A = this chain, B = another copy of it.
């Protein structure tokens, strides 16, 4: 399996940070936060999943603290939102696809980095999902939203990430990716996860409830 240029991983990773940072900055503007609040929420969303991953794996200092280039996407995202190029109401579909792109990329990069640091296939899959959903979870906690990843309509948020991370870990486990690099399989997984997430959004797919389906009482408002 031919390896692609390592800088490809950096490129898509930074794009992922940018997409998630945008979602944080857009939430900040819908709450009428100021520009610093926007930058902090965007930075937390874009970089939070990767920081969680690095802290759990034991990468000190986490990439976000060691490589200043990772600060560029949140700065760009805060500027884009401040200038009004993207607003919470406009381009919502575009944003959701960007968010799906971030999800897809982070589940791949998170899994690969975990494998590279010696986690087994199952642990690396978990780590990939954590990386993909972690930043959005922090965003929603800080902004006091019900986290998207556990919202009743959010099941198909974690599921595509879990499928993508599993495929990456399985490929690796079977020996197809001895150097844990981004290769053709990983690119395919990214496309698949984006498509899966997009289809779930378009079709409004729902998962079964946590408990028995028999209605017992209305949901708390």
Interface residues of A (CB under 8 A from B): 25, 28-38, 40-41, 51, 55-58, 60-62, 64-66, 68, 71, 78, 81-84, 87, 89, 114, 117-120, 122-123, 126-127, 137, 141-144, 146-147, 149-152, 154-155, 158-159, 206-212, 216, 219-220
Total copies of this chain within the assembly = 3
Closest to A207 in B: B34
Q: Establish whether residues A34 and B123, one from each chain, have CB atoms under 8 Å apart when the complex forms.
A: no
Q: Establish whether residues A152 and B33, one from each chain, have CB atoms under 8 Å apart when the complex forms.
A: yes
CB of A164, distance to nearest CB on chain B (Å): 15
CB of A115, distance to nearest CB on chain B (Å): 11
Q: Establish whether residues A119 and B210, one from each chain, have CB atoms under 8 Å apart when the complex forms.
A: no
Q: Establish whether residues B56 and A210, one from each chain, have CB atoms under 8 Å apart when the complex forms.
A: no
Task: Offer 17 A-B interface pairs, CB within 8 angstroms, sorted by A.
Answer: A29-B209, A32-B219, A33-B210, A34-B209, A36-B159, A37-B151, A37-B152, A58-B60, A61-B119, A61-B127, A68-B120, A78-B210, A82-B212, A87-B212, A142-B147, A144-B144, A144-B146
